[in-house]
């Protein structure tokens, strides 16, 4: 709970110190000060009580002399910020803590200009990935430079624009948003742009065979071999797989109901949320998928017997830790690329199993509408834009004809 105390730092004024407590994310204490020009302690006390009342009601507004850092910290305490999805809140927090506050946080909110933002956006591109500014460990070779995509730049811009809009329409501190219609710099490319570099990355048929064979015989891959089988054959997202429960599986009809996702944030820990497009879907699966789930149940059985009451039987998760509780989404994502490298196939991320599933379905001639619904895309345009290059030429022609019909 926030507190406000009075200090006498000069003969002609009192200083109010507003302590917002420990930030749950940064673990740092958040404070701001406000000067009251008066030699009457009762005036300062009245202002202190007013601020306390505003803090209690959630109507407190930072001083107009606030820096961008101070205002961003205030914005995170507002009802708007508290209603954000946990992952969005965490991403915004990272934008603020890692780049915005350290680089331009000391600029006063009212003095922030378009040129300040343009320099900031250029700095993001110049620095690239934040690993680039970390010194190498003793005895370690200098790190290879990592670039960032335009989407990182745009995400920072959207966050700043949103915060400044709040300062205009909610707190009435600013008169205009300097981030509006600003032109973002383009990332420099060392080589000529090649659109094929940006397409979804997938495993070849031979790599899939090698991947599954290696996982089945590697002792370290035992916790992941069954979820790997299901991911390749369903195209489900990592978060959806980790949220699957036994009641979501219909073994008789060979279907899975996908209706939730597991996410983890530093602020709220583990949470079960709705799927990315907020809709549930039912997908058909093969006997191979069901067998993988049965195998996972057999793998978990000894842990249930050994842990007894310590095993979490309420969650009824299919893919979980040995104690039955949720598995951190990053655990399998950290293991997978290194495993790919170790067995001599293309080093790709776990999400590429989803791309692999979709691309091989389309390449075999499956209808794109079916694939789109199976993946849980918000529209067929998303599927078409992502996997166009995997659609056989005759299929592409029919899709173009379909677009002509729609435009008549």
Identify the pLDDT of residue 191: 45
Per-residue pLDDT tens for 65-113?
Answer: 789 998 999 999 999 999 999 999 999 999 999 999 999 999 999 999 9
What one-character-per-residue DSSP string does 346-384 give? Answer: ----TTHHHHHHHHHHHHTT--HHHHHHHHT-SSHHHHH
Q: Which residue, among 86, 84, 59, has the nearest Cα to 74 in the 3D structure?
A: 59
Q: What is the rounded distance in angstroms from the CA atom of residue 159 to the CA atom of residue 384?
A: 29
- Please check whether residue 33 is in contact with residue 47, taking contact to mean a CB–CB distance below 8 angstroms: no
Q: What DSSP state is assigned to residue 62?
A: -
Q: Which domains does the chain have, with CATH numbers?
A: 1-60 (no CATH), 64-133+147-189 (1.10.150.130), 205-349 (1.10.443.10)
Q: Would the pTM of this model clear 0.75, i.e. be above it?
A: no
- Please check whether residue 211 is in contact with residue 345, taking contact to mean a CB–CB distance below 8 angstroms: yes
Q: What DSSP state is assigned to residue 220?
A: G
Per-residue pLDDT tens for 259-303?
Answer: 999 999 988 899 999 998 889 999 999 999 999 999 999 999 999
Q: What angle do CA 236, 314, 279 make, to 5 degrees?
A: 35
Q: Which residue, among 349, 300, 348, 350, has the nearest Cα to 325 in the 3D structure?
A: 300
Which band of pLDDT confidence, cut at 50, 70 and 90, is reported for residue 193?
A: very low
State the chain's mean pLDDT as an integer. 90
**Residue 156 scores a pLDDT above 80:** yes
């Amino acid at each position: 709970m926030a507190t406000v105390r009075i200090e006498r730092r000069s003969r002609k004024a009192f200083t109010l110190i507003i302590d917002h407590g420990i930030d749950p994310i940064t673990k740092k204490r958040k404070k701001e000060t406000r000067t009251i020009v008066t030699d009457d302690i009762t005036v300062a006390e009245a202002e202190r009580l007013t601020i306390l009342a505003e803090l209690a009601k959630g109507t407190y507004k930072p001083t107009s002399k606030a820096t961008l850092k101070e205002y961003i910290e205030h914005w995170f305490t507002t009802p708007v910020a508290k209603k954000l999805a946990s992952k969005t809140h965490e991403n915004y927090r990272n934008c603020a803590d890692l780049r915005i506050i350290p680089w331009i946080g000391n600029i006063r909110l009212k003095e922030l200009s378009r040129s300040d933002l343009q320099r900031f956006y250029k700095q993001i591109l110049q620095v690239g990935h934040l690993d680039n500014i970390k010194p190498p460990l003793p005895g370690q070779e200098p790190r290879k430079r990592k670039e960032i995509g335009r989407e990182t730049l745009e995400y920072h811009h959207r966050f700043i624009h949103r915060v400044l809009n709040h300062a205009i329409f909610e707190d009435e501190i600013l008169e205009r948003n300097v981030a509006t219609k600003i032109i973002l710099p383009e990332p420099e490319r060392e080589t000529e742009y090649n659109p094929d570099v940006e397409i979804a990355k997938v495993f070849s048929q031979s790599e899939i065979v090698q991947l599954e064979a290696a996982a089945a015989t590697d002792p370290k891959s035992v916790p992941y071999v069954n979820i790997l089988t299901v991911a390749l054959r369903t195209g489900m997202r990592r978060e959806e797989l980790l949220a699957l429960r036994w009641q979501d599986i219909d073994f008789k009809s060979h279907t899975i109901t996908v209706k939730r996702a597991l996410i983890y944030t530093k602020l709220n820990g583990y949470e079960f949320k709705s799927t990315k497009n907020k809709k549930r879907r039912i997908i058909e699966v093969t006997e191979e998928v069901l067998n993988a789930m049965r195998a996972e149940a057999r793998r978990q059985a000894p842990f249930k017997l050994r842990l007894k009451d310590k095993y979490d039987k309420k969650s009824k998760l299919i893919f979980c830790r040995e104690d039955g509780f949720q598995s951190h989404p990053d655990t399998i994502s950290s293991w997978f690329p290194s495993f790919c490298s170790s067995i001599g196939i293309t080093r790709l991320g776990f999400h590429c199993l989803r791309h692999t599933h979709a691309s091989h379905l389309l390449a075999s001639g499956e209808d794109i509408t079916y694939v789109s619904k199976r993946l849980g895309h918000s529209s067929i345009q998303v599927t078409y834009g992502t996997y166009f290059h995997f659609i056989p030429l005759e299929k592409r022609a029919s899709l173009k004809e379909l677009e002509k019909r729609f435009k008549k």
